[in-house]
């Protein structure tokens, strides 16, 4: 499949010209110009290469992040920490779907059938739902953190067709036996939306513990189906974002995982200042 290069990525290629791994490329991209969109790049062809003056007219663009990983790899948990620090708008396909289910809409009723089986909900429901949310003003202004989307080539293609690309694609990696344990012990606070785990992230008070709920697809049987669906689709999706993927070891305490993600995002935010300095020099 042809990859639509992001504006940031085209700068990276022009400057680095290296044959490093995609992960390293993404990291170095974040240190140069990823959070920005170069709307004009003029190179004076009259001068020698060393004298060429590159004029960047840089438009500040909010950060766009995708986070991916198998069921229970910690996407939602890390999204809580990322949004707290970076103020991005968290858009989780699973949460949007569960809201439709809870509201009893026609889409929600259809979606529930697939969610119960651990299968992907059809594109006719998911694609426009996520697109609408991405286009809302808060996501446009503050930047977004897209969680659990896209999960198939067709979903990724739909975003590519709209020229919607992330600056970075964080891939959480956790072994499957750990994932099952995480799913079975997960509990949610319906009041705050916070994610808990009976062993790894227990509720702070008996009052919170008493109101915790469990997702209907959080059983050992269903997570096995969800993992199967994930395995069937993940490689194809990764191939579309190979230029911006940064793998992160998710099999560590959540603060350590966040520390890695924070370094990646912080570097990107810092590079925005670097880009500005370059544009004014
Ligand atoms: P979705 O809601 O997206 O579920 P998922 O991908 O299976 O991911 P989870 O929400 O289960 O896990 P998570 O990675 O967020 O982990 P969490 O942080 O909670 O999707 C549900 C369904 O909706 C799908 O099966 C599908 O049917 C449908 N759907 C969704 N997106 C779709 C799409 N794009 N297209 C079509 N259909 C779609 O952590 C899990 C547990 O582990 C928690 O208890 C947490 O406390 C604990 N934990 C987290 N981090 C750590 C850590 N570092 N150490 C120890 N414990 C940890």
Among 71, 129, 181, 208, the mutation site with the greatest number of ligand 1 atoms within 8 A of its Cβ is 71
Ligand 1 contact via 30 beta carbon (within 6 Å): no
- pTM, rounded to two decimals: 0.80
d(CA 110, CA 271): 44
> What integer pLDDT is reported at residue 252 of this predicted model?
98
Residue 120, beta-bridge partner list: none
Is position 186 annotated as part of the catalytic site?
yes
For residue 253 and ligand 1, the question of a CB distance below 6 A is answered with yes
In b/e form, how buried is each residue of 237-247, taking b as 16+ CB within 10 angstroms?
A: bbebbebbbbb
Residue 129 in contact with ligand 1 by CB distance below 6 A: no
Q: What is the pLDDT of residue 35?
A: 34
In order along its 281 residues, the chain shows pLDDT tens digits of 333 333 333 333 222 323 333 333 333 322 223 333 332 222 233 333 333 232 233 346 899 999 999 999 999 999 999 999 999 999 999 999 999 999 999 999 999 999 999 999 999 999 999 999 999 999 999 999 999 999 999 999 999 999 999 999 999 999 999 999 999 999 999 999 999 999 999 999 999 999 999 999 999 999 999 999 999 999 999 999 999 999 999 999 999 999 999 999 999 888 765 444 444 44
Question: Is 215 one of the annotated active-site residues of the chain?
Answer: yes
Three-state secondary structure string covering the chain = CCCCCCHHHHHHHHHHCCCCCHHHHHHHHHCCCCCEEEEEEEECCCCCHHHCCEEEEEEECCCEEEEEECCCCCHHHHHHHHHHHHCCEEEEHHHHHHHHHHHCCHHHHHHHHHHHCCCCCCHHHHHHHHHHHHCCHHHHHHCEEEECCCCCHHHHHHHHHCCCCCCEEEEEECCHHHHHHHHHHEEECCCCCCEEECCCECCCCHHHHHHCECCCCCCHHHHHHHHHHHHHHHHHHHHHCCCCEEEEECCCCHHHHHHHHHHHHHHHHHHHHHHHHHHHC
Residue bearing the CA closest to ligand 1, atom 34: 149
Query: Which residue pairs, CB below 8 angstroms and at least 24 apart, start in 84-90?
Result: 85/262, 85/265, 86/143, 86/145, 86/265, 86/269, 87/142, 87/143, 88/62, 88/63, 88/142, 88/143, 88/144, 88/145, 89/136, 89/138, 89/139, 89/142, 89/143, 89/144, 89/145, 90/144, 90/145, 90/147
Is the beta carbon of 186 within 6 A of some atom in ligand 1? yes
Q: Which of 182, 188, 217, 260 to mutate to test the pocket of ligand 1 (most atoms within 8 A of CB)?
A: 182
188 lines ligand 1 (CB under 6 A): no
Ligand 1 centroid to residue 51 C-alpha, Å: 51
């Amino acid at each position: 499949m042809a990859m639509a290069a992001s504006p940031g990525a085209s700068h990276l290629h022009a400057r680095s010209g290296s044959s490093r791994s995609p992960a390293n490329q993404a990291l170095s991209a974040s240190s140069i110009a990823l959070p920005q969109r170069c709307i004009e790049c003029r190179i004076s062809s009259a001068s020698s290469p060393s004298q060429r003056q590159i004029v960047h007219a840089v438009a500040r663009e909010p950060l766009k992040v995708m986070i991916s990983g198998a069921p229970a790899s910690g996407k939602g948990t890390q999204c809580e920490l990322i949004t707290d620090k970076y103020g991005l708008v968290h858009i989780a396909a699973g949460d949007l779907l569960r809201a439709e289910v809870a509201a009893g809409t026609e889409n929600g009723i259809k979606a529930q059938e697939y969610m119960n089986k651990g299968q992907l909900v059809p594109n006719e429901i998911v694609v426009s739902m996520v697109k609408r949310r991405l286009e809302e003003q808060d996501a446009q202004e503050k930047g977004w953190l897209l969680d659990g989307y896209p999960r198939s080539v067709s979903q990724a293609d739909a975003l590519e067709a709209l020229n919607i690309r992330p600056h970075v694609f964080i891939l959480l990696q956790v072994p499957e036996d750990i994932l099952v344990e995480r799913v079975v012990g997960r509990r949610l606070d319906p009041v705050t939306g916070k994610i808990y785990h009976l062993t790894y992230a227990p509720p702070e008070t008996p009052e919170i513990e008493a109101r915790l709920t469990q997702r209907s697809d959080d059983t050992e049987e269903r997570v096995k189906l969800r993992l199967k669906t994930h395995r069937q689709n993940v490689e194809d999706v990764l191939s579309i974002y190979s230029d911006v993927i940064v793998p992160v070891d998710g099999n560590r305490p959540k603060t350590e995982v966040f520390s890695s993600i924070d370094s990646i995002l912080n570097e990107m935010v810092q590079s925005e200042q670097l880009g500005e300095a370059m544009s004014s020099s």
